[in-house]
Structure formats: C-alpha cells, structure tokens
Amino acid sequence: MRKITFLIMALFLFVLPSQAELTKRDVLKDMAGKEHRLSNYQGKWVLINYWATWCPPCLEEVPDLVALYDERKGKDLVMIGVAVDYKSEQEVARFVDDMLISYPIVLGTPKVIQAIGSAEVLPSTYIYNPQGKLVKIKRGLVTKQYIENLISTK
C-alpha cells in the first residue's frame, strides 16, 4: 500500500506543472484582451504582482511599480498585475485608471492563481529571472528599489 501511495504522489509531482518555472501553458489574458504567454518573455525579468483595490500596501506600492515598469518596459522587464478579491471588472478598471497603472492587468481567477501561485498575503509578487525561473516570492509591499536591487544581484 505504501508503494502505491508513493507512486501516485510521485506521478502527481511529475505531471503537475511547476510554479518555479514559466511554462508554455501559462497564458494570462489582460483586461485589454491581450494574451500574455509567459514563456515568451524568456530573456526578461517577469514580475507578477497580486493586489486588491481595498489593500493599503497595494495602493502604496503602485506608484513605484508604475515608475519601474515605465522605465524598463520594452527593455528587460515585463510586469503583469493580477487583481484579486474584487467586486466587478468595472471596479478594477476604475482603480487602474485612477492609479494611472500602465502595465497590463489580469483579473485573478482560480485558473490564473493555479498557473502562477497563491496569494495568501496581499500584495504578493512573483519574480522570475530572464531564464524563466522563479527566484523570489515577495509577500507584502515591494518597492522599485527592492526590485532593482534584486535584478542587479542575480
């Protein structure tokens, strides 16, 4: 019985996608309708930032994330915001407009969370290196300086 249980567990670990690496199956559709195939961003740093409209630290980090994205987009960084725990798509759209968020926003669904990983703490940021490997999950507020330091040391 132990051998069968072990074999089943090993099979699940082998078959389930690893969240430590961006795969060809990881496709996120943003609010503008654009699809982001995360594996296409090899060669760039990828930040996936979970947030909510009601979250004070999320509000605090948005200006830094916008500044970082605006400076590095099209160069060495891709950033995707994932809105979670929202009432409606319109609520998220108003928030994005009010906060002048320039990076793509995806509505958080169980499928998105399964593809990227959980967000028990808000904000949470998943950081992938240019090789597509997960190098950091930052729970809580993240700053532009923090990301720049991380990128420059890896």
Q: Give the helix/strand (H/E) hosting 152.
A: helix 144-153
79 inside domain: yes
Residue 23, pLDDT score: 57
Residue 27 confidence class, pLDDT cut points 50, 70, 90: confident
81 inside domain: yes
87 inside domain: yes
Say if residues 74 and 52 touch (Cβ distance below 8 Å).
no
Say if residues 138 and 127 touch (Cβ distance below 8 Å).
yes
Say if residues 33 and 104 touch (Cβ distance below 8 Å).
no
11 inside domain: no
Residue 43 has pLDDT above 90, yes or no: yes
Say if residues 129 and 154 touch (Cβ distance below 8 Å).
yes
Residue 154 has pLDDT above 90, yes or no: no
3 inside domain: no
Concatenate the DSSP letters of all residues of 43-82 into one string.
TSEEEEEEE-TT-HHHHHHHHHHHHHHHHHBTTTEEEEEE
61 inside domain: yes
Look up the domain containing 48 and give its range.
Answer: 20-153
Neighbours of 123 (CB within 10 A): 25
How many domains would you assign to the chain? 1
12 inside domain: no
1 inside domain: no
* 79-92 residue pLDDT tens: 999 999 999 999 99
- Long-range CB pairs of 69-74 (<8 Å, 24+ gap) are 69/102, 69/103, 70/102, 73/102, 73/103
Query: What is the CATH number for 60?
Result: 3.40.30.10
Residue 102 has pLDDT above 50, yes or no: yes
Residue 108: CA count within 13 A, CB half-sphere: 23
